[in-house]
Amino acid sequence: MSDVKAKTRNYLDSVKTVSLATCMDNKPSCRIMEIQKVEDDLKILFVAHKSSPKVAQISKDSNACIVSLNDETVRDIRLFGRVEVLIDMEAKKYVWKEELEPYFQGGINDPELTVLKFIPERLEYRDMKAGGLFPEVENL
């Protein structure tokens, strides 16, 4: 794993939420999302309701951007990539945890439960405490 990837992975392990921006009518639409899992290749998994505007937006244009700032460490990331919408039971089981039940009354079998998989294509990592005014960048 490259240095930028390792730093980005370490960062993602330190935060619970990030901002996910998708495209709506050729304009950004951003919301806070809770990370469910981060895979070794830096794919990030979220859950959403099938009927949510973000799922409709992703279905039309899968391009997305994730941004996050950790105030305590003064580090931030910006990830560019695309999002896949997954509705198969294997994906649902992979991310499911009891804390999701208040949002999906039918549990893991709730028809609204959808998994979003962010697939990064470009990483930008910045550590401002270490003097990083400009991000370290890596294209995947």
pLDDT tens sequence across 16-26? 999 999 998 88
Would you state the structure tokens that stand for residue 126, as one six-digit string? 């910045």
How confident is the model at residue 132, as a pLDDT?
72
**Cβ contact 77:12 at 8 Å:** yes
Average pLDDT over residues 105-109: 95
How confident is the model at residue 131, as a pLDDT?
79
Residue-wise pLDDT for 60-82, tens only, equals: 999 999 999 998 888 999 999 99
- Kindly give the residue spans of alpha helices, DSSP state H, lying in 25-74: 53-60
Average pLDDT over residues 132-138: 85
Q: Which residues of 28-40 are buried (b: 16+ CB within 10 A; e: fewer)?
A: eeeeebebbebee
For the chain, give every domain's residue range: 3-130
Query: What phi-psi label fits residue 131: left (phi over 0), alpha (psi between -120 and 50 degrees) or beta?
Result: left
Residue-wise pLDDT for 31-70, tens only, equals: 999 999 999 999 999 999 999 999 999 999 999 999 999 9
Tell the CATH superfamily of the 3-130 domain: Electron Transport, Fmn-binding Protein; Chain A (2.30.110.10)
pTM, to two decimals: 0.94
**Cβ contact 112:51 at 8 Å:** yes
Average pLDDT over residues 106-111: 96
- Quickly state the pLDDT bin for 83 (edges 50, 70, 90): very high
Q: Over 70: is that where the pLDDT of 1 sits?
A: no
Average pLDDT over residues 82-92: 98
**Cβ contact 128:74 at 8 Å:** yes
